[in-house]
Amino acid sequence: MLSILKFGAPELKKPSAPVEEFNGQLRHLVDEMVETMYAARGIGLAAPQVGVNLRLVIVDISRGREPEQLMVIANPEIVSTEGQQSEEEGCLSLPDFSGSVPRPWRVRVRGLNPRGDEFYVEGEGLLARAFCHEIDHVNGTLFIDRLSGLKRDLIKRKIRKLISAGRW
């Protein structure tokens, strides 16, 4: 299992490099990411969250209960959006923190599967939110970057206290 980087790690703020090699090493990384995401009880994970600078995300809003829902997307790109939603959002890199983030209600994403084949996928509601959240990660953006200044500062202040106490 991989370690999930927490807020403050410089790797989380760096835009990721495109996936260019679709081989056994990539499949191994995907397997480790899936195991890590499920163990952490997440619905999505991006490679930068485990210290790998690649445009690679996994999403499963069923949390493993429906294996066919697991999506692996290399080089994901949002190609269209529709509507708007604003719900509480959390992040495995910011455990125990959440905030209301505006996101599109529906998104269409283009990406490559682990074999390098291009595909499109659409999602709405929670799935659209998960796609946007994970794609933000590969672009070096965290959900708190999308919060109001006051809410973002409050979370950062709490994290600084946790760091000072040696609990972050």
Contact 94, 137 (CB under 8 A): no
Residue in 77, 88, 122, 134 annotated catalytic = 134
Q: How close are the terminal C-alpha atoms of the chain, in Å?
A: 19
What the block records as the tokens of 99 is 């905030």
Give the type of residue at 136.
Answer: D
Residue 74: closest CA among 22, 151, 38: 22
77 is known as an active-site residue: no
Contact 109, 53 (CB under 8 A): no
Catalytic residues: 134
